[in-house]
Amino acid sequence: MDPRDRVAVTPEAAGGPAGPCAMVLFGAAGDLIKRKLMPAIYNLAKGRLLPEQFAIVGVSIEPFTTEEFRQRMTQDIRQYAVGGVDVASWEWFAKRLYYLSGDFKDPQLYEKLADTLAQVEKEQNTQGNRLFYLATSPEFFPGVVQQLGAARLAREEGQQWRRVVIEKPFGHDLASAVALNRAIGEVLEEKQTYRIDHYLGKETVQNILAFRFANGIFEPVWNRRYVDHVQVTVAEELGVELRGGYYETAGALRDMVPNHIFQLITLTAMEPPISFDAEAVHDEQTKVLRAIQPIRPERVLDQTVRGQYGEGALGGQRVPGYRGEPRVAADSQTPTYVAMALHIDNWRWAGVPFYLRTGKRLQSRATQIVIRFHCPPFVLFRKTSVEQIPPNELVINIQPDEGISLRFEAKVPGPAVRLGAVNMDFQYADYFGATPSTGYETLIYDCMLGDPTLFQRADMVEAAWTVVQPVLDVWKALPPRDFPNYAAGSWGPSQADELLRREGREWRDPTRPGPRHPAAPATAKS
């Protein structure tokens, strides 16, 4: 009996296992592999979504043997597995792990890799299909791809496929993104290139399209006539921890906005695609990015806010400011927070501001999209005790608790006309159960199937950087004078509140179920 038969099959298993392949993990000794990728691939194995003819070849500079690599992964999976480890299932998995030590810049490494893959194909019958995953520092991306090309490892022959997964950040500005696309395009076809963003592996992100286009009651009001504005919040409690060296070269804007946040905005704002085919979805996402009005240099300081956290308290404990973190300069000017007001200049969204904010060391971990609708006319309630009518609000919670909440007004029981806010809440775990996940399972599975829908296309990447570039240029020319300008454990700098307040709006507090009318604190659950 296959030992994986002893493990509960996830709902995704209805799609069946992927076809035979060997997966090559560059950077196999790194944190991303042990914390996220290996647990995700193991979850696919438990869910019977991996084929019998499967293998992983880890590649890194550390001088491990294959047996040592298997032992390390066995230790790590016990610590980082999100759904527990079944001994028999892991044994099935571990015997498919191989390891190759070498320098990513050394052509001989790729000759050895070709020999190792040939051996793996004989032992595990992977049939020549190969998925190369670049879990490395971005500086190695173009070099590794070009070495794969020079060694003919990326060349597709007959029915055998070759695909390359590239982690973010995909460039650090528009020019570098264009250059990276060009370098990759010299070796790979676009259909072989998978620019991964783990946010798109979250169920609620994928559900945005289903929610919008499978429900006839929402799409008719999803436009400028009914929507007042949209908010996107990606808040993190954590600081930079041990990633100070990387973060000093990136900052909040580069790290989060052109990828994670713009993906959320495009899925929220796009027109209905003609199908869920990858090209059709990407076409509509790209149209949104190209419709975002570039912020004129003279307006950058009015439409954007940058911040850096200082000392503060989280969970009752004092935490250091950004400049006190390891590998961070004592006078660092790197932003750990960014807020922006964007406008999408198309027929659906003209005049509707899209506000985004993201930052580290904020009060709570939360990622959510808020659709706030126009307030209805007040005339009907003038001669009642009602003083104001709060706007309806739709909240798509992406993490930590995946779900959707709709807030509307209802009459409070009694002889007087009084209104109370009611929240109808849908939680994924309540309705569909909780499936252990790192956020990478669906994405890796799609790579094996050859479905690029949840990955960024080259023109999408460049369109996103085109929006961000004017902000980068102005911020570079005018360094901040007030850093640090928000305390750890707060919701960011006061300028971010002012960004909305001067237009008569305010940020939604992600820690609350929803704004409450003072007359009625009760909620209703669907």
Which CATH number belongs to the domain containing residue 177 in this structure?
A: 3.40.50.720
Place of tokens 């960004």: 499
Q: Tell whether 19 is covered by a domain.
A: yes
Shared domain check, 140 and 38: yes
Q: Tell whether 106 is covered by a domain.
A: yes
Closest CA to 116 of 99, 94, 133: 99
Which residue range is the domain that position 291 belongs to?
A: 202-375+455-501
Q: In whole angstroms, give the CA distance from residue 211 to residue 201.
A: 16
Residue 77, both tokens:
């999976």
Closest CA to 437 of 11, 4, 3: 11
Shared domain check, 360 and 309: yes
- The pLDDT of residue 1: 39
Domain end position, chosen among 143, 178, 197: 197
Q: Tell whether 114 is covered by a domain.
A: yes
Shared domain check, 38 and 146: yes
* Distance set, CA 503 to CA 67, 344, 345, 394, 403 (Å): 62, 17, 19, 20, 29
Shared domain check, 331 and 248: yes
Shared domain check, 253 and 281: yes
Shared domain check, 243 and 324: yes
- The pLDDT of residue 228: 97
Set 229, 260, 282, 517: catalytic member: 260
Q: Tell whether 512 is covered by a domain.
A: no
Q: Tell whether 402 is covered by a domain.
A: no
84 contacts 46 by C-beta, under 8 angstroms:
no
User: CA geometry: angle at 184 spanning 180 and 188, to 5°?
Assistant: 165
Q: In whole angstroms, give the CA distance from residue 136 to residue 238.
A: 22
Q: CATH code at 228?
A: 3.30.360.10
Q: Tell whether 381 is covered by a domain.
A: no
* Distance set, CA 394 to CA 349, 372, 375, 427 (Å): 17, 6, 13, 14
Q: In whole angstroms, give the CA distance from residue 468 to residue 459.
A: 14
Shared domain check, 140 and 166: yes
Shared domain check, 229 and 102: no
Shared domain check, 181 and 144: yes
Shared domain check, 206 and 257: yes
- The pLDDT of residue 517: 35
Domain end position, chosen among 197, 224, 250: 197
Closest CA to 28 of 54, 55, 53, 61: 61
User: Residue 146: which H helix or E strand, with range?
Assistant: helix 141-150
* Distance set, CA 459 to CA 74, 182, 289 (Å): 40, 11, 10
pLDDT tens, N- to C-terminus, the chain (526 residues): 344 443 333 334 346 899 999 999 999 999 999 999 999 999 999 888 999 999 999 999 999 999 999 999 999 999 999 878 888 889 999 999 999 999 999 999 999 999 999 999 999 999 999 999 999 989 999 999 999 999 999 999 889 999 999 998 899 999 999 999 999 999 999 999 999 988 888 777 888 998 999 999 999 999 999 999 999 999 999 999 888 888 999 999 999 999 999 999 999 999 999 998 999 999 999 999 999 998 999 999 999 999 999 999 998 899 999 999 999 999 999 999 999 999 999 999 999 999 999 999 999 999 999 999 998 776 566 667 666 778 889 999 998 888 899 987 777 787 777 677 778 888 877 777 666 688 899 999 999 999 999 999 999 999 999 999 999 999 999 999 999 999 999 999 999 999 999 999 999 999 876 433 333 333 333 3
Domain end position, chosen among 197, 214, 243: 197
- The pLDDT of residue 377: 74
Q: In whole angstroms, give the CA distance from residue 295 to residue 344.
A: 11
20 contacts 120 by C-beta, under 8 angstroms:
no
In the chain, the amino acid numbered 7 is V
Residue 373, both tokens:
């609708």
SS3 251: helix
- Structure pTM? 0.89
Q: Tell whether 515 is covered by a domain.
A: no
Q: Is 172 a catalytic residue?
A: no
Shared domain check, 265 and 193: no
Q: Tell whether 162 is covered by a domain.
A: yes
Place of tokens 């008569």: 504
Closest CA to 493 of 369, 353, 358, 337: 337
For the chain, how many structural domains are there in total? 2
- The pLDDT of residue 3: 40
